[in-house]
A and B are shown apart, each in its own frame.
Chain A
């Protein structure tokens, strides 16, 4: 988490990707045709206890990623907001129109 927020390769294009993650490391099993002509039995993958969010960040030189669980989501969100505001400074700021305050004549 800290490595993603602390990393920025100067003035380059930065791509961030947010994908839901169910913790699977294998593909979903598919029924296959056996030599005796029957289809193989397939036990489906167990449902995960916890879902999480996979976050990837990529620049020209580096690629990093991390998994955020429900417990870490709040902490990550605060750091992420801070990171966006401080580092994405190339975007245009809206000019505030100053209202002229007339001095009260005595």
Chain B
């Protein structure tokens, strides 16, 4: 599977995917301690976006993105 290189591109694309199909979109986060790798996937079963990192700095950015998505999911869907 192809990974997106830039975090900013991944963030914009993920928000676009979520806004197009809020009920179908899911976000998966996979942490592999042995390979020190964090992979994040956002998909609506049509478009699949993946991002991979091994940096603590990007972990913080990813955490904010996932928290935002989670707040939107928990709030009223329209």
Interface residues of A (CB under 8 A from B): 11-22, 50-53, 55, 68-70, 72-73, 76-77, 80-81, 84-85, 88, 90-94
Contact = CB atoms under 8 A, between A and B. Distances in A.
Given A16-B30, A77-B70, 15 more contacts: A15-B28, A15-B29, A51-B74, A52-B73, A53-B73, A70-B71, A73-B75, A76-B70, A80-B67, A84-B59, A85-B59, A88-B31, A90-B36, A92-B54, A94-B57
Which of B63, B69, B77 has the most chain A CB within a 10 Å cutoff?
A: B63
Interface string B23-37: 101111111111010
The range of chain B's interface size is 20 to 34
Contacts of B25: 20
B56 A92 contact: yes
Contacts of B66: 18
Contacts of A94: 55-57
A17 B25 CA distance: 11
A54 to B, nearest CB: 8
Given A51-B75, A52-B74, A91 B56 contact: yes
A19 B55 contact: no
Nearest to A17: B28
Nearest to B21: A20
Contact of A53 (B54, B60, B74): B74
A20 B42 CA distance: 13
Contacts of B36: 90-92
A90 B56 CA distance: 9
